[in-house]
Each structure stands twice: as structure tokens, then as C-alpha cells.
């Protein structure tokens, strides 16, 4: 009876040792999984951050594009005003030349 009890205790002890080993293995796997999960979260957060940066860059690019477009519009407007002013001044210059020519011609005829 004592030997049977001893054998059962030995068997139970062996089973407990096996269960402890199994739990330890699961714990190691769990730690690995936790590390992978943590790394996956880090990567996910980094990806979200990059996506947010891309969105900010796109918004900034749109602002720059609008600014350039506005500057081109202003430049076109200034160019048109300068063209109009140049045409007006050239018209005045041509009129003055004609008047000068006529005055010279009158002076020559006298």
C-alpha cells in the first residue's frame, strides 16, 4: 500500500512537472506573442503617423498650389495692366511723333 501510494505520488509529481513544463512553454509563447503584438502595435502607430504626415503634406501641397495659382493670376493681371499702360504710352508717343512731324513739316513749309 505504501509502495502504491508512493508510485501514485511519483506519477502525480511527474504529471505536475509535465504540466508545469507545459505552462512554462505556453508562457514563453505568450511572451513571444506579446512581443509580436507590441511590435505590431508599434508598426501600426508608425504607419498611422506616416499616413497623417502624408495628409498634412498633401494639404500643404494644395495650399502651395493655390498660392502659385493666385500669384500667376496676379502676375497675369499686372502684365495686362502693364500691357494696357504700355499701349497707352506708345499711343501717346506715336501721337506726339505725329504732332512733332506735322510741326516740323509746317515749319519747313514756312
The domain limits of the chain are: 1-79
Residue 27 has pLDDT above 90, yes or no: no
| Higher local confidence (pLDDT), 109 or 53 | 53
Mean pLDDT of 34-39: 79
Residue 96 half-sphere exposure toward CB, CA atoms < 13 A: 6
* pLDDT for 110 beyond 70: no
Rounded to whole angstroms, the Cα distance separating 101 from 105 reads: 6
Number of neighbours of residue 103 by Cβ within 10 angstroms: 10
Say whether pLDDT at 36 is over 80.
no
Give the pLDDT band (50/70/90) at residue 76.
confident
Confidence of residue 41 (pLDDT cuts 50, 70, 90): confident
Find all residues with CB under 8 Å of 75, minimum gap 6, and list them. none
Residue 88 clears pLDDT 70, i.e. is over it: yes
Amino acid at each position: 500500500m505504501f509502495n502504491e501510494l508512493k508510485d501514485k505520488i511519483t506519477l502525480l509529481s511527474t504529471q505536475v512537472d509535465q504540466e508545469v513544463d507545459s505552462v512554462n512553454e505556453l508562457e514563453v509563447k505568450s511572451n513571444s506573442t506579446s512581443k509580436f503584438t507590441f511590435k505590431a502595435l508599434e508598426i501600426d502607430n508608425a504607419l498611422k503617423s506616416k499616413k497623417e504626415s502624408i495628409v498634412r503634406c498633401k494639404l500643404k501641397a494644395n495650399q502651395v498650389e493655390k498660392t502659385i495659382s493666385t500669384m500667376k493670376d496676379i502676375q497675369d493681371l499686372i502684365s495686362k495692366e502693364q500691357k494696357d499702360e504700355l499701349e497707352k504710352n506708345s499711343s501717346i508717343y506715336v501721337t506726339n511723333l505725329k504732332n512733332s512731324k506735322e510741326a516740323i513739316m509746317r515749319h519747313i513749309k514756312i
